[in-house]
Structure 1
Amino acid sequence: MPRPVPRRTLIAGSAAAAMMPVSALAVGHSEQAAGSDPGGHGASPVLKLRLLETSDLHMYIDAYDYYRSRVDDNVGLARVATLTRAARAEVANAMLFDNGDIIQGNPLGDYVAQPGHLDPAQGHPIFRAMNHLGYDAATLGNHEFNYGLPFLEASIKGARFPFVCANVEHVDGSPFVPRFTVLDRTFTDEAGVAHTLKIGVIGFTPPQIMVWDALRLNGKLRAQDIVDAARRYIPELRARCDLLVVLCHSGISAEPRVGGDENAALYVAGVPGVDVIFTGHAHRVFPGPDYSGLKGVDAVAGTLAGKPAIMPGFWGSHLGVVDLVLKRSADGWRVDSFHTEVRPISQRRDGKVIPLTQDDTAICEVVEPEHKATIAWMAKPVGMTAVPIDTYFAFVGPDPSISLVNEAQLWYTRPLLAGTEAAKFPLLSAAAPFSAGGMGSGAFVDIPAGPLTMKDIASIYVFANTISVVRCTGAEVREWLERSAIAFNTVTAGEKTPQALLAADRQTYNFDVIAGLTYEIDVTRPPRYDQSGEVINATSHRINDLRYAGRPVRADDVFVVVTNNYRAGGGGSFPGTGQKKIVLNAPDGNRDAVLRFVADRKRVDPPSAPVWRFAKPVAPTIVTVDLPTSAEALASSRPDLRRLSGAPGGLIRYGLTLA
């Protein structure tokens, strides 16, 4: 689960670029050699080649929001396909690649992954669409493994283009998919002469798949460090090709490499032999301001370690474009100059989303059967809720969506632990508000009292996680909550000017609330941890008055905590988690547990009693949260919130007094 960026942030940034002249549109232009013959005459042919990239599509094929049953102009391969056809029409030579996280990520992906829903004769719908669009190659993202190896293998059989991944292999050392491939492609140079080039393509995915999907992969696959695999296999591929393209499903970090890094694209770009590197995983846009100021990164020119690079957002928000000018000399073809660009499918203007392209209707037609079936599946009723369930206020107090998930996880897990050693310890449950403004489109859960459908359950629990249980001490539980509490800024008690409560880089899926406990969060104290799980303020403690059943939690208390496989395996680097801590890996998904709980109860009433509260500062302090207009009616019914003003992105700013 990479850190998501609010969709409004991406659209705002890319919209500004979209309105610039082409020469200023996040362009990198590196004159690596002088004296090129622009006409392609003489002994040094010049060939222009355009490389196109998509990444992190996450099954967003149609421009459609299955959670809200409406068109979404921010997403969709169908929209990117229109940009792709236009980009191809502008040049003589083009290739198209995908950088992973393809088959999982929205209800369409979940529907197809249900037993019996993937028709081998027809093939997986997203690969039918990608075949229609004519992809040249792809790599595996970490989410490709979420539904298990049998489903992944059955799915990629339908792709009429090669998958490559150099750092994932079977336990016997044989590659899971080819580590790399060499594509023979015939292109036309500037003089109209045809040349056949060998395009080498190699892929990588985060080695953390062995943590995040340990239950599905242990004993079957193993994953190498990305850079170690790159250094091992790139020289072999370089000797076989004229141009070497890296499909790196990994983000960009300029921190010193430690080995096993999740975000390793910059390090790979520095491996000798790389010509172009495509990145992804981080759900961001590059070139762009997100990566300004990093050593080895040119966020304007679009280079990593001097190599042209692209990261095209997520869910089909952008098309990545790298234009190469190749020149042939006695030593073969080399990159003479380049131009990098990201093309958005929409932009935000005056708080509204403006589409910049339209559907490729052929792509929509290819996936229409599964699209319609998913809509029908999502509308299926499963129970009732006695109260509204929303996530607008998940960071300011009791949240009904988290309460429902925690209640369901406890209900599901108790029978499984009965009769085991773990049953003698108090059982807690950890859950986070996935859709609370950080998963794109300003997404929030907003379910009125009344019927609950599959769509509602899927909006509450968006990931294909499975139930896991860990055993940890009271001291570890306290540190777990300290890690969770980094979602908040540090505020100054008594400050007269309202202060933003939420950290800009908060990860909603890492704000765990642990049911079965009560505790305070003191936001006037600096965070103890950073996003990587490292202690940065050793003397600071935000978690106070931690209690179980009314009594203070002692450091040597022992608890078992039900969570998901991602967290239990160490995802997010939370204290108290990791493979050695796991006492149960259940066969069912967390969403399935919620679904069964609702169906069993028929009518649910998520508890509103607070698990946590803010500690009172030494003087009254006003903090602010920005919420969409859809939260206005609910916010007006809360006496603790006061509307202050408008906020960027068409939001409303509310004040909360800590006193």
Structure 2
Amino acid sequence: MFRAKSFKKWTSLFMTLFMILSFLTPFDVKAAEKTVDIQILATSDTHGRFMPYDYAQNVEDKSGSLTQVYTAVKELRKANPNTILVDAGDSIQDNSANIFLKDDIHPMIEAMNEMGYDTWTYGNHEFNYGVPTLEKVSSQFKGVPLCGNVYKNDGTRLAKPYTIVEKAGVKVGIIGMVSPNITRWDAENLKGYKVTNPVDETKKAVAELKDKVDVMIAVLHMSEGSEYSEPGSGAKEIAEACPELTAIVAAHEHKAVPGTKYNGVLLVENLNKAQSLAAINIKLTEENGKYKVANKETDVTSKLLYVKDSKTKAINYEADKDLSASLQPYNKKAIDDANVVIGELKGGNLVPDDEVKGIPTSQIQETAMINLINEVQLYYSKADVSAAAAFDTRANMKAGPIKKCDTSLIYKYDNTLYLLEVTGKQLKDYMEWSAKYYNTYKPGDLTVSFNPDIRGYNYDMFSGVKYEIDISKEPGERIVNLRKMDNTPIKDTDVLKLAVNNYRANSHLTAKTGNEIYKDGNLPKVLDKDMVNGAAVRDLIGQYIKEVKGGVITPELNNNWKIVGNNWDAAKRAEAVKLINDGKIELPVSADGRTPNVAPITEAQVEEAKVTKKADIISFNDYHGIVEENGKDIGIAKFVGAIKAYKKENPNTVVVSAGDMYQGTAISNLNYGAPINDMVKLLEVPVSAVGNHEFDWGTDRIAKWAKDAGFDFLASNIYDKATGKPVEWAKPYKIIDVNGLKIGFIGLATPETAFKTKPTNVENLEFKKPEEAAKEWTAKLKSGELPEGKADVVIALTHLGSEQDSKTKEITGEAADLAKADTGLDAIISGHTHMTVAGTVNNIPIVQGYKQGRGYGKLQIAYNTKTNKASIVPSYVDLSKDVKTLPVDADAKAIVDKYVKASAPLLNEVIATTDKDLTHDKSGASILGEWTCEVMAKASGSQIAITNGGGLRTSIKKGNITVGDLYQVMPFDNTLVTMDLKGSDLKANIEHGIDNKEVGWVQISGVMVKYDMNKPEGNRIVEMKL
């Protein structure tokens, strides 16, 4: 198709450096209009999160903090200097904020001052410590405190009802009110003070302000709707009563409201713990010398900016370094406080060791841990009955000194305490709902198992009553012999006080819609919520240990409940327990990996285990040179740490690679894959498939990698054209003995390699059909004709692509085609397409471990020596979701440190800046793609430039651009080629790139193309011109 009359090559490094020159493209500036955009930035319910740290748990927590919010504020202020920063309260309570109340300045206030807050509306928790303390802390604030509906004895307000802030000639009135329910929560602290209706007070403020300002907003510590049916306790009531307001910043409910309207008034609300920042834009137009909002529908907009992406878990905003430095002394004080010893646990751990490995004791029998939690809840709520869950299967407190932060070991979350009124029937219905957690016991079962659709944190255990759970009965009929602690039976009509946490109360017990427990709509009554000034239950546990128990606790059992109906044979049960604990029987987990032990171990499984050999195959693919941890890329140190941890628990494990290991990052590329090869050696990888990018530096490099790290590349379908024989630098197969189980691996490369690497590197190679090679070598491995003898199981270790539909789970692609062929393979390991795959095609398991070490594929092999048949279970393990808690391997970290240090001088060099994000998505045309093509054209002196979207691997963020950034965008050291093309050739090339799912959308410059996606592929272009 192409007629190359002449061409020149340019190195990619030169191209990337040249590219920087075009970042400075000037932009047209629009003529100024008589409008002003006022930006309102708002936080609320920050609850002591001045730094990205959870002091109760004594761990870093980057989900939200003022230091991170400040990074976002700085960016938004730079974009629009006409910015007002406000807070809607609940700032100085929780996360150890109380330890700073007597300091000269509270860290939350210091942070707010440095960030330049204009106003701070008091929240209900500001009153927890008494008004004198609030006034002391408030006096430290450099902005204006607001609270227009709380009056002192002398009739003066505790704080101003409003203030006026002027920006760019626009006067903004800001009104602040607090929920009237503070008298319910802090009655003692508010004796002598009068709390009035916020609606009435806001009306007064509006009347006073309306002739003094151009626009009015309200910053309220009030939920969107009313609470306890208290008049004036909902923010939307104020919107209905005061249409003069342009916007309302609500708070208190800790829910994300990016923007909704009541009576034409925009309302936003933030998440708690500084997890989000609300941004409201108000466009004002000058008319007759006065600014006004011309159209409330179109000129007032809003959004929420999230510190952490809830889906990808990526951190959108890191902590501001200067503010972090200012707050470091407070951070140290809080961490030191978290490690203060508050008591001692004597007489043993709160939870005994698990009898069966993988079945948490805390969820199958009464434990002192749950009893302690319930004891605390009963004490502070004065309830009759208490319910609590084991949030984590590993939750426990061990004998010895108890630090303040140790309460988070048994109570992970910051739930608050609720008190409900229930009837005997409502209590039993709740208990039956909870008991659905267990699978129904069947004859032959030897273990208790859990419902895969129910999470462990939704299984509650009860104190204050006695009961049994008969798991031989169906759900809904399991709670038997329910009685009070004095053995008095509980009748349906009895009335009891029940203590639970806020999550259980709101999400299940009192939910008005979708209530699974009380489908008839007859709900328990809320008597009190957020008890003890809204203290977290885990903090109450510490307080109870220190103040009530005198600093000493012991494991205490009430003998008030147990599981019955599991009438298994004791001897067979003991045999099952031993096989499980020895790793010869594995307990199944739910498909999403979140619920353990989802099916019972049976007598039949015990008999089968006696004649079964097991092995696990961990496979990673398309690692692409990832050295350092960065977002979802966990890096060498944690990747090795995670796999070593698995191998320690599962000794019969082999780790293999499905290719494309080395090429892809600056540190790896600069060192020709050496850091990755060092990693491969640490992981004791015996074999690897050959990926297309293994050829990027020539075949000599492939042989050197294998020799240096002591493994074999496998490729049964790559032949030398000159000799007609398989290549010498790779073997067609390898048999690995795993505890007596012989596993044969056959290597297969994708035929796409011929055109998915530098052509000159593979011009002397032939890539034969994978199906033919697989059939040939499977037959040899299973016949026993090879020197190593017969393989029990044969697995194709490939760099063949595959995809899996997220809904139907259907697998397609090269690996699926291989499975459909009659090859005799037992399983297939895939790669190349950077997908998560775990399933079967034609009863043959296929796995692919996504990309860049973010996870791995796993084949769990169970080979029956009696029948000579193998059962192979495919799965995918996502490491990226646990990136924070993954173990760091010391030897692997040394590898990272070595190469990072050696590469830093070049990679950290800032060579340019950009004032906008250069975004890229290979599924469409992009800013970065067009810019790259413009540079290619300019560098080569061409009219038109074209590249595939998949060749650009990431976007470039606004700010400084380093050499390392450019390597991430273009990691493959490709070169530029120029050629003369006819118009028909150009059209065909661009047609091929429109909506190309394999290599990404074509990126172009120098030509304007119009296309119609409704037309057939290859005939979509309707117009093309220079």
Q: How do residues 49-60 of structure 1 correspond to structure 2 at under 5 angstroms?
A: 49-60=38-49
Distance 1:201 1:412, change over 3 A: closer
CA distance in 2, matches of 1:212, 1:594: 24
Identity %: 21
CA distance in 2, matches of 1:199, 1:615: 69
1:313 equivalent among 271, 275, 281: 271
1:82 equivalent among 71, 75, 78: 71
CA distance in 2, matches of 1:503, 1:224: 44
1:277 equivalent among 240, 248, 251: 248
Cα drift, residue 64 of structure 1 = 1.2
The code of the aligned residue for 2:303 comes to: E
Alignment of 1:98 with 2:77, yes or no, is no
Find the counterpart in structure 1 of residue 315 from structure 2.
Answer: 355
CA distance in 1, matches of 2:90, 2:305: 20
Q: Is the 8 A contact 1:146 1:465 kept in 2?
A: no
**Greater alpha carbon shift after TM alignment, 68-77 vs 127-136:** 68-77
Alignment of 1:455 with 2:415, yes or no, is no
CA distance in 1, matches of 2:388, 2:308: 30
Structure 1 unaligned segments of length 5 or more: list them: 1-37, 188-194, 288-298, 415-426, 438-442, 527-540, 583-587, 617-634
CA distance in 1, matches of 2:526, 2:228: 25
Q: How do residues 602-621 of structure 1 correspond to structure 2 at under 5 angstroms?
A: 603-607=553-557, 609-610=559-560
CA distance in 2, matches of 1:164, 1:258: 25
Find the counterpart in structure 2 of residue 260 from structure 1.
Answer: 231
CA distance in 2, matches of 1:479, 1:228: 43
Cα drift, residue 654 of structure 1 = 5.7
Find the counterpart in structure 1 of residue 308 from structure 2.
Answer: 346
Distance 1:547 1:374, change over 3 A: same
Q: How do residues 156-175 of structure 1 correspond to structure 2 at under 5 angstroms?
A: 156-170=138-152, 174-175=156-157
The code of the aligned residue for 2:349 comes to: V
Cα drift, residue 514 of structure 1 = 4.6
Find the counterpart in structure 1 of residue 175 from structure 2.
Answer: 202
Distance 1:555 1:401, change over 3 A: same
CA distance in 1, matches of 2:137, 2:189: 16
Q: Is the 8 A contact 2:483 2:489 kept in 1?
A: yes
The code of the aligned residue for 1:515 comes to: G
Cα drift, residue 157 of structure 1 = 1.4
Cα drift, residue 58 of structure 1 = 0.5
The code of the aligned residue for 1:216 comes to: N
Distance 1:480 1:73, change over 3 A: same
CA distance in 1, matches of 2:152, 2:484: 46
Find the counterpart in structure 1 of residue 164 from structure 2.
Answer: 183
CA distance in 1, matches of 2:548, 2:196: 39
Cα drift, residue 66 of structure 1 = 2.0
Q: Is the 8 A contact 1:55 1:100 kept in 2?
A: yes
CA distance in 1, matches of 2:247, 2:564: 49
Cα drift, residue 500 of structure 1 = 4.1
Distance 1:286 1:375, change over 3 A: same
Distance 1:404 1:204, change over 3 A: same
1:326 equivalent among 255, 278, 284: 284
SS at match of 2:40: strand
Considering only CA atoms, is the larger Rg found in Structure 1 or Structure 2? 2
Q: How do residues 366-405 of structure 1 correspond to structure 2 at under 5 angstroms?
A: 366-381=326-341, 382-384=343-345, 386-388=348-350, 398=366, 400-405=368-373
Find the counterpart in structure 2 of residue 140 from structure 1.
Answer: 122
Q: Is the 8 A contact 1:312 1:342 kept in 2?
A: yes
SS at match of 1:274: coil
Q: Is the 8 A contact 2:433 2:476 kept in 1?
A: no
Find the counterpart in structure 1 of residue 678 from structure 2.
Answer: none
Task: State the Cα RMSD in Å.
Answer: 5.1
Find the counterpart in structure 2 of residue 127 from structure 1.
Answer: 109
Q: TM-score, normalised by structure 2?
A: 0.42
SS at match of 1:355: coil
Distance 1:488 1:96, change over 3 A: farther
* Per-residue deviation, residues 569-610 of structure 1 (Å, max 9, x unmatched): xx989659469xx9xxxxx96642222355443x52143745
Q: How do residues 511-590 of structure 1 correspond to structure 2 at under 5 angstroms?
A: 513-515=462-464, 518=467, 545-553=482-490, 575=525, 577=527
The code of the aligned residue for 1:454 comes to: K
Distance 1:341 1:465, change over 3 A: closer
Aligned residues: 508
The code of the aligned residue for 2:489 comes to: P
SS at match of 1:552: coil
Distance 1:608 1:489, change over 3 A: closer
The code of the aligned residue for 2:187 comes to: A
Cα drift, residue 110 of structure 1 = 3.3
* Per-residue deviation, residues 110-147 of structure 1 (Å, max 9, x unmatched): 3224xxxx22xx31111011001100001122222222
The code of the aligned residue for 2:132 comes to: P
**Greater alpha carbon shift after TM alignment, 85-94 vs 305-314:** 305-314
Distance 1:560 1:257, change over 3 A: closer
CA distance in 1, matches of 2:480, 2:239: 41
SS at match of 1:251: coil
SS at match of 2:222: coil
Distance 1:449 1:590, change over 3 A: closer
CA distance in 2, matches of 1:236, 1:62: 39
Cα drift, residue 149 of structure 1 = 2.4
Q: Is the 8 A contact 1:598 1:604 kept in 2?
A: no
* Per-residue deviation, residues 181-204 of structure 1 (Å, max 9, x unmatched): 2224241xxxxxxx2x33211123
The code of the aligned residue for 1:149 comes to: V
The code of the aligned residue for 1:328 comes to: E
2:56 equivalent among 60, 67, 74: 67
The code of the aligned residue for 1:387 comes to: N
CA distance in 1, matches of 2:432, 2:155: 40
Distance 1:523 1:338, change over 3 A: farther
Q: Is the 8 A contact 2:455 2:594 kept in 1?
A: no
Q: TM-score, normalised by structure 1?
A: 0.63
Alignment of 1:244 with 2:216, yes or no, is yes
**Greater alpha carbon shift after TM alignment, 515-524 vs 167-176:** 515-524
Q: Is the 8 A contact 2:40 2:84 kept in 1?
A: yes
The code of the aligned residue for 2:407 comes to: I
* Per-residue deviation, residues 38-63 of structure 1 (Å, max 9, x unmatched): 8555xxx3111111011111001111
Find the counterpart in structure 1 of residue 545 from structure 2.
Answer: 594
The code of the aligned residue for 1:205 comes to: V
Distance 1:590 1:64, change over 3 A: closer
Distance 1:481 1:393, change over 3 A: farther
Find the counterpart in structure 2 of residue 112 from structure 1.
Answer: 100
Cα drift, residue 207 of structure 1 = 2.4
Distance 1:393 1:326, change over 3 A: farther
Q: Is the 8 A contact 2:283 2:293 kept in 1?
A: yes
Cα drift, residue 282 of structure 1 = 1.8
CA distance in 1, matches of 2:336, 2:363: 33
CA distance in 2, matches of 1:360, 1:56: 20
